Structure 1
Amino acid sequence: MRHRSSSLLALVLRGAASMAAPKTPQSTLRPAKGSAITFDDIARIPRPGSQGVAKAAFSPDGTHLTYLKSGDGSLTTQLYATDVATGTTKLAFGSETNEDSFTLSKEEQMRRERARVMATGVTTYAWAKNADVLLVPADGALFVKQGIAGAATKLFDVDAFPDVGRGPPLDAKLSEDGSRVVFVWNDEVCAVDINEGVPRRLTTGARDVEGVTNGVADYCAMEEMDRYEGFWLSPTGNRVCFEQVDETDVYLLKIPRPGDAEDPGAAEEHRYPFSGATNPSVKLGVVGVSGGDVAWLDLTKAGLGEDTYLARVYWASDATVLACVQSRDQRTMRLVAYDIDKGTDRVVLEETNKAWLNLNDCLRWGIVEGEVLIASERDGVQHLYVHSTGDGKVLRRLTEGTDCVVEELIDIQNGLVYYLGGDVEPAKCTERHLFSVPYDGSSPPKRVDDAAGVYLDAAAVSKSGAVFLQHSAVDAPVVAELRSETTTILKDASDAPLVSQLKPPEFFEIPSTDGATTLRGAYYAPDANKYGPGPWPTVVSCYGGPHVQFVADKYATMTGDLRAQHLRERGYLVIKVDNRGSKRRGLAFEAAVQNKFGCLEVDDQVAAVEWAVLCGKADPTRVGIFGWSYGGYLSAMCLAKAPMVFRCAVAGAPVAAWDGYDTHYTERYMGTPSSNPEGYKEGDVCTHVANVEGALMLVHGLVDENVHFRHTARIAQAMVDAGKAYDLLCFPNERHSPRSEKDRAYQEERVFAFLETWLK
């Protein structure tokens, strides 16, 4: 179905001259003249003004704040500690290697791909909950420190116990008392007592067994559920709950590596659950830290059948495991409590939603005996509720309204629940703040931070009342600060290169095409003294998919977006808008795209262009669009469904058809191919390519194990079948997001040359 443009824009376009043959740009593969921003600058990570600290946490006694930080502005991070009382900072642990991600094991590479981790060096660490002990995985080994001042000790030589495991351990966790570490080694759960240093295997049946793992989260759990762990330690550390994943019935996808110069047959194999097809079989078991028999927990006790998802797992006590089991259609979730000693189980509570259930990590059990805290979108936005652990009924509601919506639970200290959240109304939906609310419900939430117009990326709270905040705004680079008796600045990114010359974008609001809601967007306007008052050639930068907010009061993704800044410097207007289906506007706004991907998103992107044309900012005959992943899909759909609006599109790593993407993501929004055949057909790029009148550039990594290159190949074949020309840019050694800075710079050069060809 051809997109319906507004009559005014259609008249403007029909009255304009027909598309002339594109001009060849004066220069390609060289830094563009007329801009202080180079292609190398655009490719460099982190972006200017965006680098703060990561994984900030207070020590158990509250005397120190620890965090990961780069000392030289690179992606290599080390562990630092700041004394809360004095503000003095020192290096707590430094990695001895500057590893490249491609030297990591395949398992670790995949974990980092799922978590979108780009950093090297020390990338994670953990405090024991009740002891002054630090665990630091680094340099392929496990290290422990007795407090900040203690020396780092390697737990064991990873090559000395071949009967237990080989290579770097994965996903190491420290017991609450700091006495032992549990980890995954060669697909089995293992443990080591800190005082002994001799690792032992707790599980069996997975090592060297194709398709079976113990203690490792499956692909969809990591990629779509934000659950990266596959085992959980009990409070005393004497038991381990773990998941066993059997993927032998899941489709085995073979991905060639044609960029391998040594092996012409090089390829990777990945178990990939395509929409409507078979998911992994998941079992949940409990084993003692000395090994022995496994107590298997029956997930069908949730009463949702056998084809379900294990969404979350918690320990309520040393004898009780909690499992959040989600139905395959993701509209029902039940919390099941398993008593390990008695061998009994019961459903504690149930959540349902006609659209879908967005997962969160807000559940806390037993803050008060007989109570469980959860977050729910049952009334359209996410709020905190306290339920009875007996009959599951609501005891009280802690938050309500649209201006203090819950997103991320930070901590519970001194009877206060701290969380990050914000307002879903358009004027303030781009901000995020730290709130506190009494657990007993005695008063409404209060803002903890005091700045307006900012977005908090992270926060932490200590028992003594010290607070860590990391924030930015479109006009203020990232600042990480520790607030106690005084304020200590841990990181201020305002002195990063290029920051002084970057101009923030301007926000705007427009009605959606149905007039039922308001869309929030931003634009980057060229220098009118240099390029005139407009209208200007225009590039729409988009994402557009669920679970992401693209327009926010964040420096990194807005002012620090050097591609947008470079285009602005070269005389382009750049537009961003969060269409219906985007995050942080409430469930109804997000669920507007249910069962119909590629429809309303296109309408709303077109509405943003129409607004810019009517304002005299956008030249209606020179509009292009760029996006990656879902944004790549949306770019291709806009070119195909709104050919009168978009002259060219760059589709990076695009989905072509939703039957080629995974179960948990796709079925949440679209159902299955058999339950929603019309929606899948309408949402297929290939259905609409015959309508393409402009230029299409496809960009993709050949070893992308998330959105497979097969998607780009399907679009390319459909273009050939329709007699349409297209450009193709491939990266033989890249996955979903290019990791090589050289590759990213090359991509920016080629994309800019393409835009210059068709829009100038």
Structure 2
Amino acid sequence: MQGMDVLHSMKNGQQYSVLNFDRDAGATSIDIYDYKTLSKTKTLVSSANLKDLRYFSDYKFSSDESKIILATNEEAIYRRSSLGHYYVYNISDSTATIISTDKIQEPTFSPDGTKVAYGLNNNLYVKDLQTEVTLQITADGEKNKVINGITDWVYEEELSFVRAFEWNKDSNQIAFLRFDETNVPEFSMDVYGTGLYQTQQVFKYPKAGEANSEVSLHIYHVNDKLSKQVLVQKTYTDFYIPRIKWTNNADVLSAQFLNRKQNELDLWMINSKTNKTNLVLTETDDAYVDVTDNLTFLKDNSFIWTSEKDGFNHIYHYDKKGALINQVTKGNWEVTSYYGYDDKSGNIFYQSVENGSINRDVYSVKLNGRNKKRLSKNEGTNNADFSADFSYFINTFSSASIPTRYTLNSAVSGDVIKNIKDNEALLGKLSAYKISKKEFTTINVNGNDLNMWMIKPLDFDASKQYPLFMTQYSGPGSQSVANSWNSANDYWYQSLAQQGYIVVCIDGRGTGFKGAKFKKVTQNELGKYEVEDQIEAAKILGKRTYIDASRVGIWGWSFGGFMSSNCLFKGNNVFKMAIAVAPVTSWRFYDSIYTERYMTTPQENASGYDENSPINHADKLKGDFLLVHGSSDDNVHLQNTMRLTEALIQADKAFDWAIYPDKNHGIYGGNTRLHLFKKMTNFINENLGDKIKNN
């Protein structure tokens, strides 16, 4: 599969850059291409020409594109965070200067390109690129106690960001979050490695109902070398600050505050000169309010915002004081991505599911909500990367039958100007294999039409009966039934189909892109309605003449493993077998932000936690069960599997299990994934199929 790595639209709007790797030379480069011709015009920088930099894995331009931060020696910390060595490459003289000999986090240019701020050892630093003097701007950072400018574990995992600092547009102020983790309980994991003694990783992890970090907002004034804490008058004392963003006024910072229950989100405007704070917008919901990444400030500091307050996620335009100007998009469909606003044409560009919840299309619409235009032409999944001046976009398209295609399109008409990459060679390779069509339909379950796909054996014979193997994830707001090209697991499902299984995936209640009511029906009861839907769907499918209702299995990973465990236990007269990989087995063991968003706290909702937790239904196991976990899973802790294992033992239930040493939630590295999927395939064949061994 061919792709476009680290695509960046140059500020002239006529060119874009891509990170390329030269396998023969073993070097990486940033290459510049013209939108109109798609031809490469120059190599901006190549590691082959840098004596201290053998390769780089990522890059970021300064605002004026005269300098580039190049990343190398990156090592993952958690899901989104990493440490690395970073160089500033100066395009004018082709020099590369290391920012710090220490491995650092999230180096970020000031807008004027004269400084770089970064995180190191839980503190924030600013390096002046002209004088090469580095200033430490916080001093109280300490492992497992205080973090400045970088998020803690639970913010990174559940609020999806790592860099918790932002430059203002004049490059003279830095807003940052400070996390005091002192009272957050610690979690520890043994790391077995290859030494005589194991080591231990200890980190702060707030489980549901436990103490979170105390987070505070600060503004550092670069010229005065002083920090000031920002205080706002909230009605709640336990809260999150999920987003901060400077407005077009260099002295006005926006900050989103979210109460711990996550059913009230407040947008504040903070004047860093006067210290005056104004609450401009409040979103409330009976269940929870999603945090938006789509806040965009226009030249007059009016702003664009997305919200599902009318029951579906849509785009809104507010004035700078928070008064609604208009709702830009409307309808019983969801906006799924917001791409930006072009102040020249007055167009907003976005992606939505208006053409069916399993599809994605690219649209433009005027700021006043008029002249909506569908820009993408093909049915499937379309995603856009717009040029800086919104004259072009690179459309990434795929469907279940067409691998990813990249095309250059007009932002006015959506018409294809040129094809970039089409991956036709991949289709040619796949033609040598037995590939079944992925059939999309809906199935009516418990009064709802649920999206479903089915893969049948290539030699399917409706007069025969086949075992049914169900796959799902089912987490809140998620989607597994999508009209897009194969994921890695799809090839496994094709393999199972050719071994004689019918493979099915169904998105039940609680999943996304069908409106807030459908998604939030599972509130306070995770694992109730979702499990009921999978069990009932299995019963309905089992009545089809070509499905053997005595041989039905289900599997899932993470939330999907929580589901597959519950389905086997609660649906013990429906499912013959299940596989659960890295499952949550009690929501009491999972983190505060994710769990409480949907369940409130265990103290408030004990029954919701316990009645739907697999560890409390282990005694119902009748079928065949395979339980899998990585011992270094920092996300869904091995504790989940150990507690379920103990419950099964005490219930005197036979089951199979596997622990992958020192593997995290993804369970990969070396031969690991191959071993895992062989193990799962053999388990399926032994318990649903004809005992075919894959050695």
Q: What is the correspondence of 1:252-263 to structure 2 with a 5 Å cutoff?
A: 252-258=186-192, 260-263=193-196
Partner of 1:579: 508
Deviation at 1:464, TM superposition (A): 5.5
Aligned residues: 663
Deviation at 1:209, TM superposition (A): 4.9
Is the 8 Å Cα contact of residues 56 and 460 (structure 1) preserved in structure 2? no
Distance 1:634 1:122 in 2: 40
> Which of 454, 471, 494 lines up with 1:523 in the alignment?
454
CA 1:565/1:634 → structure 2, altered by over 3 Å: closer, same or farther? same
Deviation at 1:77, TM superposition (A): 7.9
Distance 1:96 1:615 in 2: 61
> Which of 536, 539, 544 lines up with 2:469 in the alignment?
539
Q: Point out the more displaced range, 410-419 or 279-288.
A: 410-419
Are 1:639 and 2:639 counterparts? no
Partner of 2:614: 685
Partner of 2:309: 378
Are 1:83 and 2:34 counterparts? yes
Are 1:248 and 2:177 counterparts? no
> Which of 141, 144, 151 lines up with 2:85 in the alignment?
141
Deviation at 1:456, TM superposition (A): 2.3
Are 1:220 and 2:150 counterparts? no
Deviation at 1:180, TM superposition (A): 2.3
| Letter in structure 2 aligned against 1:183 | Y
Is the 8 Å Cα contact of residues 331 and 357 (structure 1) preserved in structure 2? yes
Is the 8 Å Cα contact of residues 27 and 48 (structure 2) preserved in structure 1? no
| Letter in structure 1 aligned against 2:180 | D
Relative contact order (alpha carbons < 8 A, sep ≥ 6): 1 or 2 greater?
1
Q: What is the correspondence of 1:393-408 to structure 2 with a 5 Å cutoff?
A: 393-403=323-333, 405-408=334-337
CA 1:486/1:603 → structure 2, altered by over 3 Å: closer, same or farther? closer
CA 1:476/1:57 → structure 2, altered by over 3 Å: closer, same or farther? same
Partner of 2:200: 267
> Which of 156, 160, 167 lines up with 2:98 in the alignment?
156
Is the 8 Å Cα contact of residues 329 and 369 (structure 2) preserved in structure 1? no
Partner of 2:118: 183
Distance 2:100 2:6 in 1: 26
> Which of 376, 385, 389 lines up with 1:449 in the alignment?
376
Partner of 1:651: 580
SS of alignment partner, residue 749 of structure 1: helix
SS of alignment partner, residue 537 of structure 1: strand
Deviation at 1:85, TM superposition (A): 3.3
> Which of 544, 553, 567 lines up with 2:496 in the alignment?
567
1:412-449 CA-partner distances (Å, limit 9, x unpaired): 122211112223xxx8111111111112x051432122
> Which of 348, 358, 361 lines up with 1:433 in the alignment?
361
Is the 8 Å Cα contact of residues 266 and 279 (structure 2) preserved in structure 1? yes
Distance 1:716 1:685 in 2: 11
Q: What is the correspondence of 1:556-635 to structure 2 with a 5 Å cutoff?
A: 556-557=486-487, 561-635=490-564
Is the 8 Å Cα contact of residues 79 and 122 (structure 1) preserved in structure 2? no
CA 1:619/1:486 → structure 2, altered by over 3 Å: closer, same or farther? closer
Partner of 1:478: 404
Identity %: 26
> Which of 201, 210, 235 lines up with 1:304 in the alignment?
235
Deviation at 1:282, TM superposition (A): 0.8
Partner of 1:236: 170
| Letter in structure 1 aligned against 2:595 | T
Deviation at 1:71, TM superposition (A): 6.4
Are 1:412 and 2:341 counterparts? yes
Is the 8 Å Cα contact of residues 144 and 203 (structure 2) preserved in structure 1? no
Partner of 1:127: 61
CA 1:284/1:77 → structure 2, altered by over 3 Å: closer, same or farther? farther
Is the 8 Å Cα contact of residues 700 and 712 (structure 1) preserved in structure 2? yes
Partner of 2:284: 352
Is the 8 Å Cα contact of residues 89 and 96 (structure 2) preserved in structure 1? no
SS of alignment partner, residue 556 of structure 1: coil
CA 1:322/1:611 → structure 2, altered by over 3 Å: closer, same or farther? same
CA 1:507/1:464 → structure 2, altered by over 3 Å: closer, same or farther? closer
| Letter in structure 1 aligned against 2:616 | T
Give the superposed CA RMSD: 2.5
SS of alignment partner, residue 593 of structure 1: coil
Distance 1:276 1:121 in 2: 45
Distance 1:661 1:302 in 2: 31
Is the 8 Å Cα contact of residues 471 and 478 (structure 1) preserved in structure 2? yes
Are 1:553 and 2:479 counterparts? no
> Which of 91, 105, 115 lines up with 1:170 in the alignment?
105
| Letter in structure 1 aligned against 2:71 | P
Distance 1:93 1:652 in 2: 43
Is the 8 Å Cα contact of residues 110 and 116 (structure 2) preserved in structure 1? yes
Is the 8 Å Cα contact of residues 478 and 494 (structure 1) preserved in structure 2? no
Distance 2:181 2:490 in 1: 39
| Letter in structure 1 aligned against 2:87 | F
Is the 8 Å Cα contact of residues 180 and 192 (structure 1) preserved in structure 2? yes
Q: Point out the more displaced range, 221-230 or 306-315.
A: 221-230
| Letter in structure 1 aligned against 2:329 | T
Partner of 1:341: 273
SS of alignment partner, residue 595 of structure 1: coil
CA 1:126/1:602 → structure 2, altered by over 3 Å: closer, same or farther? same
Partner of 1:25: none
Distance 2:164 2:237 in 1: 19
Partner of 1:422: 353
| Letter in structure 2 aligned against 1:481 | T
Distance 1:76 1:601 in 2: 48
CA 1:602/1:418 → structure 2, altered by over 3 Å: closer, same or farther? same
SS of alignment partner, residue 403 of structure 2: strand
With normalisation by structure 2, the TM-score equals: 0.90
SS of alignment partner, residue 555 of structure 1: coil
CA 1:490/1:176 → structure 2, altered by over 3 Å: closer, same or farther? farther
SS of alignment partner, residue 716 of structure 1: helix
SS of alignment partner, residue 588 of structure 1: helix
| Letter in structure 2 aligned against 1:61 | N
Distance 1:569 1:151 in 2: 58
Distance 2:407 2:103 in 1: 34
Deviation at 1:381, TM superposition (A): 0.5
Is the 8 Å Cα contact of residues 399 and 444 (structure 1) preserved in structure 2? no
Are 1:459 and 2:410 counterparts? no
Is the 8 Å Cα contact of residues 131 and 176 (structure 1) preserved in structure 2? no
Distance 1:583 1:96 in 2: 46
Partner of 2:76: none
Distance 1:755 1:52 in 2: 34
Distance 1:518 1:421 in 2: 20
CA 1:705/1:337 → structure 2, altered by over 3 Å: closer, same or farther? same
| Letter in structure 2 aligned against 1:280 | S
Is the 8 Å Cα contact of residues 144 and 152 (structure 1) preserved in structure 2? no
Is the 8 Å Cα contact of residues 431 and 454 (structure 1) preserved in structure 2? yes
> Which of 296, 309, 324 lines up with 1:364 in the alignment?
296
Partner of 1:332: 264
| Unmatched runs of 5 consecutive residues or more in structure 1 | 1-48, 98-119, 160-166
Is the 8 Å Cα contact of residues 552 and 574 (structure 2) preserved in structure 1? yes
CA 1:450/1:461 → structure 2, altered by over 3 Å: closer, same or farther? farther
> Which of 388, 391, 395 lines up with 1:469 in the alignment?
395
Distance 2:538 2:43 in 1: 50
Partner of 2:81: none
| Letter in structure 2 aligned against 1:557 | S
Deviation at 1:53, TM superposition (A): 2.5
CA 1:266/1:399 → structure 2, altered by over 3 Å: closer, same or farther? same
Distance 2:148 2:682 in 1: 49
CA 1:468/1:375 → structure 2, altered by over 3 Å: closer, same or farther? same
Distance 2:22 2:500 in 1: 36
SS of alignment partner, residue 125 of structure 1: strand
With normalisation by structure 1, the TM-score equals: 0.83
| Unmatched runs of 5 consecutive residues or more in structure 2 | 74-83, 690-695
Distance 1:302 1:617 in 2: 63
